[in-house]
């Protein structure tokens, strides 16, 4: 199969190092050796070290939720790509809608982060998605196009092959309102089309496009069998081993 499914947990601002290590210990016991599905957990910065140690020797990968594009310097409160690499992170979420709406991140700023991640061999999980008002105004595809094209400026074809995109409709995040499979598949196919234009067809066929927004064990099987849905970026259901493991199993069954 061209694209292995990927299940990524975005813990957001949850879990201390001890709580995170305990959760991951359960994941490692149940799924730490499987290779059917790629699995990434993204704890807060403060838990990266402890969670990374708990993941050691397993197939589960470590991701961060954000980064600063400079390597070092006078940027109080920020964390750079080399710092994340030093903790053995392999992935980083960039441009999450909460960063965009609550912390004012622009497409241009997000683009700098994507380039910094790639330069440092971190795989970016670039998030795009429309608000409810944008969906109701019929501008979903336009919004996604702008976010994707601006976010990926200056990315080479070679770099793009390691990229991961997450389509997260803002109205579905943490609301329990999941996009219908048709709504999600439509945007995923559109994103793949844009990637084809930007980077060629073979590259676009390799990029994983994750769905995010109230993905749960109950709705995952249907979403994960859509042609262009290559996995999930999971918030709430990634905070407990049982539901996260069920999502990993659903992805394995959907391949």
* Residues with active-site annotation: 96, 168
Q: Which two tokens stand for residue 215?
A: 């993905």
* Shortest spacing between CB 73 and ligand 13P, in angstroms: 28
Minimal CB distance to ligand 13P: which residue?
235
Nearer to ligand 13P, 143 or 203 (CB): 143
Q: Is 65 in the site for ligand 13P (CB under 6 A)?
A: no
The only residue of 134, 168, 228, 230 in contact with ligand 13P, by rule CB under 6 A: 168
Contact flag: residue 105 with ligand 13P (CB under 6 A):
no
Q: Does 212 bind ligand 13P (CB under 6 A)?
A: yes
Q: How far does Cα 38 stand from its chain's mean position? A: 12
Q: Note whether 233 binds ligand 13P by CB under 6 A.
A: yes
Which one, of 188, 250, 180, 248, lies nearest residue 214 by Cα?
180
Tokens of 83: 């710092």
What's the rounded Cα separation, in Å, for the pair 72 and 38? 31
Does 234 bind ligand 13P (CB under 6 A)? Our answer is yes
Q: What angle do CA 139, 141, 146 make, to 5 degrees?
A: 95
Residue span binding ligand 13P (CB under 6 A) among the ranges 21-29, 44-52, 129-137, 208-216:
208-216
Instruction: Choose, by CB under 6 A, the member of 61, 96, 192, 249 that binds ligand 13P.
Output: 96
Q: Taking the complex as a whole, how short is the minimal distance between the CB of residue 98 and ligand 13P, in angstroms?
A: 7
Q: Which is nearer to ligand 13P, 110 or 234 (CB)?
A: 234
- Residues interacting with ligand 13P, by CB under 6 A? 10, 96, 168, 173-174, 212-215, 233-237
């Amino acid at each position: 199969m061209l694209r292995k499914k990927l299940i990524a947990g975005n813990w957001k601002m949850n879990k201390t190092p001890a709580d995170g290590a305990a959760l991951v210990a359960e994941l490692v016991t149940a799924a730490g050796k499987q290779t059917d599905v790629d699995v990434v957990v993204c704890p807060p910065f403060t838990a990266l070290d402890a969670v990374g140690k708990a993941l050691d020797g397993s197939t589960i990968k470590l991701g961060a939720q954000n980064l600063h594009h400079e390597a070092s310097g006078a940027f109080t409160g920020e964390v750079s790509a080399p710092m994340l690499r030093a903790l053995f992170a392999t992935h980083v979420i960039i441009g999450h809608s909460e960063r965009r709406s609550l912390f004012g991140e622009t497409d241009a700023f997000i683009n700098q982060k994507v380039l910094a991640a790639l330069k440092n061999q971190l795989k970016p999980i670039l998030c795009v998605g429309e608000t409810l008002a944008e969906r109701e105004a019929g501008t979903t595809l336009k919004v996604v196009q702008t976010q994707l094209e601006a976010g990926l400026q200056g990315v080479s074809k070679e770099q793009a092959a390691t990229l991961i995109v997450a389509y997260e409709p803002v109205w579905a995040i943490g609301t329990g309102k999941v996009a219908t499979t048709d709504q999600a598949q439509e945007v995923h196919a559109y994103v793949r089309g844009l990637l084809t234009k930007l980077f060629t067809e073979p590259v676009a066929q390799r990029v994983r496009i994750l769905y995010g927004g109230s993905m749960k064990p109950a709705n995952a099987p249907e979403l994960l069998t859509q042609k262009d849905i290559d996995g999930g970026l999971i918030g709430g259901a990634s905070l407990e081993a049982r539901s996260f493991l069920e999502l990993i199993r659903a992805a394995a069954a959907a391949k």
